[in-house]
Structure 1
Amino acid sequence: MDTFVPAEPIPPGEYLQDELDARGWTHEDLSEVTGITRRQIANIVKGKSGVTPESAKAIAAAFDQEPATWMNFQVAFELANAAVEEREIRKLARLHEMLPIREMRRRNWLPKKCSTEKLEDAVCSFLEIGDLSERPKLCVAARKSDDYTFNNPAQLAWYYRIKKVAPAAPVEGKYSDSNWAPGVEDLLKLAANAEDARRVPRVLADMGIRFVLLQHIQRSKIDGVAMWLDDDSPVVGLSLRYDRLDNFWFSLLHELVHIKHKHASPVDEEIGPKEGLDDIEVTANSEASATLVAPEKLESFIRRCGPGFQMTRVVQFARSQGIHPHIVAGQLRHRDVIKHYQLTKLNEKVASHIKGQALTEGWGDFIALEH
């Protein structure tokens, strides 16, 4: 005989109480008839314990029924429970496929202890979707070191956290296209000294651009992102994944080029950015490099001073361009005209100069959001 399995688990105790009520019996009455203790009967009714073959035979005899009836109730209950557990496991697996749940809980972006249902609600709220069948609709342009045709869960989480905290970043007025060139000119005045990076957030705020520093998530491989909260509110987010001055300035200019051209690509947890992003990134890379060092001047320097590139000559050239020597060394490495281990004495860190000067989360800091 097939066992009916209800959609929701129904403990045998509910059926037992119905039978008792139909006969006007108490637990004591059933105990006296069957020899099952009152505590055992109470536990079955409350769902604290199940029906055993022995109790099934006794209850069935008392009600003039078949023992299989009560064993079927017990089996159906256990199967329904198992089905619920299976659905929970599948749903949890889906949530972990979408986002780095453990890391997000560690960072207090998601509740640390809650039911699967509440976790699902929190994930949907984080991704701004109605349910798990929807795809995220955030549009970004990002600088990262892996495939530009796909966003992994860590990248998706990082993008959305930037979006959620960005409204708290200070800004002076609305952004306009006319702000870009003079603003970048002011920024470049800060590129000669590592400690002047602390003044970058103020210049960006004066341009009408919100600036967020968000520690990268493991396996995200993200350096920065550009996005828009609305038509007048651009955001630049950096991860400081590499605590190097050259990476900071290149990533910053890279994202500002995205802002200049209003580049954006929709984030999708399965498909990712659409066609054309490769061209977008090529544009951002080339314009960022050219903004930091005029290509013709860098090429002239390479012809004159390569392949040896004495440190004193690099420093002199950097000073003539108004930028830090580390930025020049970074450009030379990017062009593969020096090895990664050359000119490393010119390297400067940047994180200690800028963390805390901008809206910062990670590295021990957490931004509490209003709900």
Structure 2
Amino acid sequence: MNIRIIRNSEEYKKATVYLDELLSSGDDSNDDLIDVMALLISNYEKVHFDIGLPDPVSAIENRMEQQGLTRKDLIPYLGSQSRVSEVMNGKSPLSLSMIKRLHEGLGISYEVLMQDQTRELDERNVNYEDYPIAAMFKKGFFPKVIKSVTEAKERAEELVRDMFEAVKLTPFAIAGAPHLRSAVHTTNKRMDGLALQAWQAKVLHQTLDKKLPKCDLDSIDLPFLREILKLSRLEKGPLLAKEELANNGIHLVFQEHLPKTYLDGAAMWGVDGNPVIGMTIRYDRLDNFWFVLMHELAHVSLHLKNSKEVYFDDLDGEKNSDEDEADDMALKALAEKSEWDKYFALLTTPESVVNLAKKLMVSPAVIAGRFRKESSDYRIYNRLIGSNEVRKMVFP
């Protein structure tokens, strides 16, 4: 028989007969010829007889039949009994984590299981459930179609990747380490870097539908900070600050912190190329709010201009030169040090605090909070620091 590419059904029939003859001959010298004929026949069959891959559910059912498994045996791969029923009845798609478990546990090929997926598997040795999925679910990080913590954990990879990719972050690539003020500190708190990154992603997400003018960083200077701080004397000062910063191209986002982040605020670049300030309102006091805001604005003014880093701030943590510079500018937003030193000695009564606040056109909370901090006397002026006034305003 002439060995050539098979072009039609007649040649295919002849080739299969010839291959059978070669296989039946038992002649080892025909091994190479058998390989060639088998390849030619296989190529023809792929073009003319290929019925495609089985769908994922059919592949699972086939493996169950081969191994004598019941649906109950699928719980380790698919989750709860109800989730097994949903998947096997075609009411719920396979998640990426399910696909990994089915491949590793039952040996079903990724090619079959991934047919309906819109994204590729993350082949790194990472576990998306290491993110604080339960806390993220409770704080509304995920779409409303996700109805439970269990479902969020089952779909952890898709949910985290969707959220991160939308804001151009890479899961498990922790940003901002050189400026992570709480990376090493004296209180022995353990910072959860994944929770920190998840918080960052959520903050950036909240800027995606906000169209702001381009920020002129040169205008974000000490006089600008002082004008923003004057809004503190108004009843809705934090919300007015958010509005005024937006008018100047700066996103101000309020997002509660996640467990083990010990975070007060952060300054970073947004997807739109404008600065973003995130605030957690970890301490629900007006004095803390305004200092944290001034501190983050100082980072925008002093550091973002020449850096793409993220500045995460636990203001109880250890300091470095950038943090010292931000603290110094934040304090100067109220008054130059020489002026403040003169005022400090006069702050002996609540009335003196209120009078100085009127003179400097700021909230009494700003004066009282700074005095308490620098005097290390946190029993004084408790009624002036605006306790329990911020969260109800920014997290209605």
| TM-score of the superposed pair, with normalisation by structure 2 | 0.57
Cα 1:326–1:332 change in 2 (3 A) is same
**Structure 1 position 317 matched with structure 2 position 350:** no
Amino acid across the alignment from 1:125: D
2:320 alignment partner in structure 1: 278
> Is the partner of 1:237 in helix, strand or coil?
strand
Instruction: Please point out which of 90, 105, 119 is paired with 1:84.
Output: 105
Larger RCO (CA within 8 A; separation ≥ 6): 1
2:333 alignment partner in structure 1: 291
1:18 alignment partner in structure 2: none
1:301 alignment partner in structure 2: 343
Instruction: Please point out which of 328, 335, 339 is paired with 2:367.
Output: 328
**Structure 1 position 123 matched with structure 2 position 160:** yes
Query: What aligned pairs does 1:4-23 form with structure 2 within 5 A after superposition?
Result: 13-14=65-66
- Tell me how far apart the structure 1 counterparts of residues 193 and 363 of structure 2 sit (CA, whole Å): 34
Deviations 1:239-293 (A, max 9, x none): 122221111111111111111123457579xxxxxxx982211111111111123
**Structure 1 position 104 matched with structure 2 position 167:** no
Cα 1:267–1:203 change in 2 (3 A) is closer
Higher strand residue share:
1
Shift of 1:202: 1.8
**Structure 1 position 167 matched with structure 2 position 208:** yes
- Tell me how far apart the structure 2 counterparts of residues 345 and 48 of structure 1 sit (CA, whole Å): 63
Cα 1:210–1:178 change in 2 (3 A) is same
Instruction: Please point out which of 177, 184, 189 is paired with 2:217.
Output: 177
1:27 alignment partner in structure 2: none
- Tell me how far apart the structure 2 counterparts of residues 267 and 11 of structure 1 sit (CA, whole Å): 48
Deviations 1:139-192 (A, max 9, x none): 996777984995533322211110111122353x11012331354343133122
Cα 1:135–1:186 change in 2 (3 A) is same
- Tell me how far apart the structure 2 counterparts of residues 219 and 184 of structure 1 sit (CA, whole Å): 30
Query: What aligned pairs does 1:222-371 form with structure 2 within 5 A after superposition?
Result: 222-229=263-270, 232-263=273-304, 266=309, 278-302=320-344, 304-305=345-346, 309-335=348-374, 337-349=375-387, 350-351=389-390, 354-355=393-394, 363=395
2:127 alignment partner in structure 1: 94
2:14 alignment partner in structure 1: none
Identity across the alignment (%): 22
Amino acid across the alignment from 2:356: F
- Tell me how far apart the structure 1 counterparts of residues 299 and 169 of structure 2 sit (CA, whole Å): 29
> Is the partner of 1:212 in helix, strand or coil?
strand
> Is the partner of 2:233 in helix, strand or coil?
coil
Cα 1:139–1:180 change in 2 (3 A) is farther
> Is the partner of 1:191 in helix, strand or coil?
helix
Query: Which segments of 5 or more consecutive residues in structure 2 lack a partner in the other structure?
Result: 1-59, 74-100, 107-123, 312-317
Aligned residue pair count = 273
- Tell me how far apart the structure 1 counterparts of residues 258 and 152 of structure 2 sit (CA, whole Å): 24
1:218 alignment partner in structure 2: 259
Shift of 1:107: 3.1
Amino acid across the alignment from 1:351: V
Shift of 1:127: 3.5
Amino acid across the alignment from 1:299: D
> Is the partner of 2:173 in helix, strand or coil?
coil
Contact 1:223 1:251 in 2 (8 A): yes
Shift of 1:330: 1.1
- Tell me how far apart the structure 2 counterparts of residues 160 and 115 of structure 1 sit (CA, whole Å): 17
| TM-score of the superposed pair, with normalisation by structure 1 | 0.61
Cα 1:116–1:240 change in 2 (3 A) is closer
Contact 1:192 1:324 in 2 (8 A): yes
Contact 1:176 1:232 in 2 (8 A): no
- Tell me how far apart the structure 2 counterparts of residues 49 and 316 of structure 1 sit (CA, whole Å): 73
Cα 1:84–1:279 change in 2 (3 A) is farther
- Tell me how far apart the structure 2 counterparts of residues 130 and 290 of structure 1 sit (CA, whole Å): 34
Shift of 1:201: 1.7
Shift of 1:298: 1.6
Amino acid across the alignment from 2:217: D
**Could you say what the CA RMSD is over the residues aligned between the two structures, in angstroms?**
4.1
Contact 1:169 1:211 in 2 (8 A): no
> Is the partner of 1:226 in helix, strand or coil?
strand
> Is the partner of 1:235 in helix, strand or coil?
strand
Cα 1:109–1:12 change in 2 (3 A) is closer
Query: Which segments of 5 or more consecutive residues in structure 1 lack a partner in the other structure?
Result: 1-7, 16-43, 51-79, 86-90, 269-275, 356-362, 365-371
1:64 alignment partner in structure 2: none
- Tell me how far apart the structure 1 counterparts of residues 376 and 174 of structure 2 sit (CA, whole Å): 42
